[in-house]
Chains A and B, each alone.
Chain A
Amino acid sequence: MKNSIGRDIPENAIKDRKLYQGEFAMNSSIVKTTTKVKPVNPSDSKLLDNIEEAIVKCGLKDGMTISFHHHFREGDYILNMVVDIIASLGIKNLTLASSSLASIHKSLVKHIKSGVITKISTSGLRGELAEEISNGLMDEPVIIRSHGGRARAIEAGDVKIDVAFLGAPSSDEYGNASGSRGVANCGSLGYAKMDALYADKVIIITDFLVEFPNVPASISQTNVDYVVKIDKIGDPAGIASGATRYTKNPKELLIAEYASKVIVESGYFKEGFSFQTGTGGATLAVSRFLKTEMLNASIKASFALGGITKPMVEMHEEGLIKHIFDVQGFDLSAVESIDKNPSHHEIDSSFYANPHNKGCIANKLDVVVLSALEIDTDFNVNVMTGSDGVLRGASGGHSDTAACAKLTIIVSPLIRGRIPCVVDCVNTVITPGESIDVLVTEIGIAINPKRVDLIEKFKHVNVPVYTIEELKKKVDCIVGVPEKIQYDDKVIALVEYRDGSIIDVVRKVKL
């Protein structure tokens, strides 16, 4: 069956799910799920000796759902450690509901093969694990969710977490956990906050036990069942890099300069505007150009959102951004800032982008700048599968912020290496074209035809404007049209839109 953007979703993948029908098509009232709570009495201790004891005390059994957060990114030691222990206890058939998965989690492959993990939901998949899954490792398709979509799924009970294993850079023995004040700090614990609120059992795993009370806390003692201290929760270098990538690539800088010009001329660039930029080379560089424009025009932003990086922190500290809402910090600047700047706020992923609460902060976004692996002539964007059809990306907050922001800009080169980035039809749709307003490339921009107002506005701006079909033609002239990837019928991943409907599927690549 085809959904409203024409993606063919096989019947056996749909089951009781709904097909995507438009950005805000599903907005009927929902009932939030509840959590099982085992009361903790004054004489009870939460501090346990090891993870194994915590698993046993939580009553983890075959068929349950476990969860992890991805704030430690490629530096995460927790997930592999915990799943190894679970496997050694002989527990099988688990659903892994991680907020995201990285290359470091390749040891999951053996646990999937042995039946310890049989279902996965995640925002991202990379490296060996992603390749194996793309090659058909799992019987059940992986569910790809956006960050806002995961928060929605948890609140709606679509994902019912039995045990959440939450790494924390610091915690006291009673479970007040923080992303700061430890050794391997990650700043915001925005994704983990949802697990802590909605999982039946919550285990805080830390390598830095501090004196009670560890406040302010990202995760409150009232939501925590057990605390375990281990030697190392992760590799600080993989968790937060010292310096954000400061691109010198002239093409990325050119794209960033155009994007900044688009923002300035869009009509949304005025006192008190709000924005979010991604973490790619070009998207990150947009902040640099935007900063100059803000200084020149004496304009201050009311807030910045995201994935927080050094340029945003600098602008905040210089008074150009009044508030930062931080669901995830990307570098040491962000980690340090959240601890010291009172207007740098930690938010959970529901506050960030859940479409089914009473108003997420993304709803208040004026401008978002996002990247793309591929964009097609309908403006649909793929950030999940590579040009070989293999999973190698993350849904992240892409579709969330794209749907919400008043101006959604995609920055992408026309070509990467010999791979076209503007195509007829993307491999995988993560964000529907109706959410995208402007594509910015190194030769100029293309405006979504539905934005008649912007098309009119940019007639008088010194930026080359093309139709997206014209850009596609230019790409074809340089690299030609690649042969289509050959897929099997087997569905290896379902792409869930933020509202819970199915926007696309990823099929197994024919070997």
Chain B
Amino acid sequence: MERLRRTMMFVPGNNPGMLRDACLYGADSLMFDLEDAVAISEKDAARFLVYNALKTIDYGDTEIVVRINALDNPFGRADIEAVVRAGVDVIRLPKTETKDDILAVEAVIEEVERKIGREVGSTKMMAAVESAIGVINAYSIATSSKRLIGIALGAEDYVTNLKTKRYADGMELMGARSQIVIAARAAGIYALDTVYSNVDNMEGFIREVELIKQLGFDGKSVINPKQIKPVHEIYSPTAQEIKKSLDICRASSEAKKQGLGVISLNGKMIDKPIIERAERLVQLAIAVGLYKEDIKNEK
């Protein structure tokens, strides 16, 4: 199974307590923010703090992402230098508009990797699209670098750029979300959704998570530990789904053994995409610990 990225928790890079405790709550990825969450006067302190956190704190298997400042301001380059040295898993670019934005950052990353003897290409990247032009260029951004693991939507800047605001039903984001999922799938990388900022409205949050799951997103950005569990629950297959998928997988392997081209289960014909979906769901069930047997043993 590929890595789960159901939740990416945003953590301000200038808060030592939060940097220390962030991995307690079970998010699949943590994103330490050096950009919008940090005031200009604290940029250097936050970078220093994140560097030392990465060097000293044991984050276990949690994927660590750092959102750096853009290269067009005085902090971006220093951010890259620090976090690549500290061994970060993924560097996240804010406000990505074209593939050149990615390539520019990639060049700096590579330069630092070579300088410190870190394997070239081992620092992964992800892009956050936060404007109309970024959404238009989503596919060319998503395919710009082998380092890219995912593309995310940053909704606050995006709706401002679109001359609208965020509504409860999320209609204003529909176009961007679809475009990003399609680009991500075409490029074979992850699609990650934006934050839901009203942490006290769990109902609205859950509605939004259900929507983005329906759209095909791999996961959601979260800003509070209490948002993690609901996302994981929504992204976990139900017992019924697991059983159905296992039945499909078994029927498929049985048919293969018998050399049958057409597979049927309970009188219904099953074709390739259904089998693919079933296999993916079983893999997910295994990854989240809901199903113990390896699917391969079933065959």
Q: Which residues of chain A are near B20, meaning CB under 8 Å?
A: 415, 478
Asked if A254 contacts B25 (CB within 8 A), the reply is yes
| B104 lies within 8 A of chain A by Cβ | no
By a CB distance below 8 angstroms, the chain A residues around B25 are 250, 254
Task: Choose among B21, B57, B224, B226 the residue that contacts A442 (Cβ–Cβ < 8 A).
Answer: B21
Complex interface bits, B20-50 against A, C-beta within 8 A gives 1, otherwise 0: 1100110000000000000000000000000
Query: Within A402-426, which residues are at the interface with B (CB < 8 Å)?
Result: 415, 417
B24 CB contact (under 8 Å) in A251, A417, A477: A251
Distance A478 CA – B58 CA, assembled complex (angstroms): 9
Contact with B along A458-493 (1 / 0, CB 8 A): 000000000000000000011000000000000000
CB distance from A363 to the nearest CB of B (A): 37
| Chain B interface, DSSP helix/strand/loop, else mixed | helix
Cβ of A443 within 8 Å of any chain B Cβ, yes or no, is yes
Chain A nearest CB, measured from B23 CB (Å): 9
In the complex, chain A residues whose CB is within 8 Å of the CB of B56: 477-478
Interface string of A278-314 (1 = CB under 8 A from B): 0000000000000000000000000000000000000
**Interface-centre pick from A250, A254, A442, A443 (highest chain B CB count, 10 A):** A250
Given contacts A442-B21, A443-B24, A478-B20, contact A250 B225 (CB under 8 A): yes
Q: Is the CB of A250 within 8 A of B57?
A: no
Question: Which residues from 226 to 279 on chain A have a C-beta closer than 8 Å to any C-beta of chain B?
Answer: 250-251, 253-254
Question: Could you give, for residues 432-469 of chain A, a 1 whenever the CB lies within 8 Å of some chain B CB and a 0 otherwise?
Answer: 00000000001100000000000000000000000000
**Distance of A105 from chain B, by nearest CB (Å):** 33
- A478 and B57 contacting across the interface, CB-CB below 8 Å: yes
Residues of B within 8 A of A251 (CB): 21, 24
Given known pairs A442-B24, A443-B24, the reply for A477 and B224 (CB within 8 Å) is no
User: What is the minimal beta-carbon distance from B15 to any residue of chain A, in angstroms?
Assistant: 13
Q: How far is the CA of A415 from the CA of B224 in the complex (A)?
A: 20
Q: How far is A251 from B22 in the complex, measured between Cα atoms in Å?
A: 10
- Pick the residue among B24, B57, B58 that contacts A254 (CB under 8 A): B24
Cα–Cα distance between A415 and B226 once the two chains are bound (Å): 21
Residue of B nearest to A418 (CB): B16
Q: Which residue of B lies closest to A441 (CB)?
A: B24
**How near does chain B come to A104, taking the closest CB pair, in angstroms?**
31
Find chain A residues with CB under 8 A from B24 CB.
250-251, 254, 442-443
CB-defined contacts of A477 to chain B, threshold 8 Å? 56, 58
Interface residues on B, range: 10 to 19
Q: Give A443 to B57 CA distance when docked, in angstroms.
A: 14
Residues of B contacting A254 with CB < 8 Å?
24-25, 225
Complexed CA–CA distance, A443 and B60 (Å): 12
Which partner residue on chain B sits nearest A250 by CB separation?
B225
A251–B20 CA distance with the chains assembled, in angstroms: 11
User: Which residues, 46 to 65 on B, are CB-close (under 8 Å) to A?
Assistant: 56-58
Closest CB in chain B relative to A415 CB, distance in Å: 8
- Per the bound structure, the CA–CA distance linking A371 and B39 in Å amounts to 37
Chain B nearest CB from A246 CB (Å) reads: 13
Q: How far is the CB of B53 from chain A (nearest CB, A)?
A: 10
Chain B residues near A442 (CB-CB < 8 A): 21, 24
Q: Which residues of A contact B226 (CB under 8 A)?
A: 250, 253
The reply to whether B58 and A250 form a contact with Cβ atoms under 8 Å apart is no
Chain B residues near A443 (CB, 8 Å)?
Answer: 24
CB contacts (< 8 Å) of B17 on chain A: these are 417
Smallest Cβ-Cβ distance to B57: which chain A residue: A478
Interface residues of A in 169-228 (CB under 8 A from B): none
Query: For the complex, what is the distance from the CA of A254 to the CA of B17, rounded to whole Å?
Result: 15
Question: How near does chain A come to B103, taking the closest CB pair, in angstroms?
Answer: 39
**Residue-wise interface mask of A (342-368) relative to B, using a CB-CB cutoff of 8 A (1 in contact, 0 not):** 000000000000000000000000000
**Which chain B residues numbered 209 to 256 have a C-beta less than 8 Å away from chain A?**
224-226
How many angstroms from the CA of A477 to the CA of B56 in the assembled complex? 8
Contacts of B225 in A (CB 8 A): 250, 254
Expressed in whole angstroms, the Cα–Cα distance for A155 and B224 within the complex equals: 52
Q: Which residues of B contact A253 (CB under 8 A)?
A: 226
Across-interface contacts of B58 in A (CB, < 8 A) = 477
Closest B residue by C-beta to A254: B24
Nearest residue in A to B22 (C-beta to C-beta)?
Answer: A250
Give the docked Cα–Cα distance between A477 and B53 (Å): 12
By a CB distance below 8 angstroms, the chain B residues around A478 are: 20, 56-57
Report the nearest B residue to A255, measured CB to CB. Answer: B24
A253 to B228, CA, bound (A): 13
Instruction: Give complex CA distance A415, B17 in Å.
Output: 10
Query: What separation, in Å, do the CA atoms of A409 and B235 have in the docked complex?
Result: 34
A251 to B225, CA, bound (A): 9
Report how far A254 CA is from B224 CA in the complex, Å. Answer: 13
Bound-state CA distance A253–B226 (Å) is 9
Alpha-carbon gap, A254 to B27, bound state (A): 13
Task: For the complex, give the distance between the alpha carbons of A415 and B16 in Å.
Answer: 13
Q: How far is the CA of A477 from the CA of B24 in the complex (A)?
A: 16
Please measure, in the bound complex, the distance between the C-alpha atom of A415 and the C-alpha atom of B21, giving whole angstroms: 10
- Cβ of A343 to closest chain B Cβ, rounded Å: 34
Q: How far is the CB of B198 from chain A (nearest CB, A)?
A: 14
* Distance (whole angstroms) from the CB of A411 to the closest CB of chain B: 14
Q: How far is the CB of A442 from chain B (nearest CB, A)?
A: 5
B187 CB to nearest chain A CB (Å): 35
Cα–Cα distance between A415 and B20 once the two chains are bound (Å) = 10
Bound CA span A410–B20, Å: 22
Distance in Å: Cβ of A250 to nearest Cβ of chain B:
4
Find the B residue at minimum CB distance from A413. Answer: B21
**CA distance in complex: A509, B169 (Å):** 61
Contacting residues, chain A, for B57 (C-beta < 8 A): 478
Nearest-Cβ distance from residue B68 to partner chain A, whole angstroms: 25
Docked complex Cα distance between A250 and B20 (Å): 13
Interface centre among B17, B20, B21 (most CB of A within 10 A): B21
The 5 closest A-B pairs by CB, nearest first: A250-B225, A442-B24, A251-B21, A254-B24, A250-B25
Q: Which residues on A are within 8 Å of B, measured CB to CB?
A: 250-251, 253-254, 415, 417, 442-443, 477-478
10 additional contacts, CB 8 Å, given A250-B226, A251-B24, A477-B56? A250-B25, A254-B24, A254-B25, A415-B20, A442-B21, A442-B24, A477-B58, A478-B20, A478-B56, A478-B57
Q: B: which residues have CB within 8 A of A?
A: 17, 20-21, 24-25, 56-58, 224-226
22 contacts across the A-B interface (CB closer than 8 A): A250-B21, A250-B24, A250-B25, A250-B224, A250-B225, A250-B226, A251-B21, A251-B24, A253-B226, A254-B24, A254-B25, A254-B225, A415-B20, A417-B17, A442-B21, A442-B24, A443-B24, A477-B56, A477-B58, A478-B20, A478-B56, A478-B57
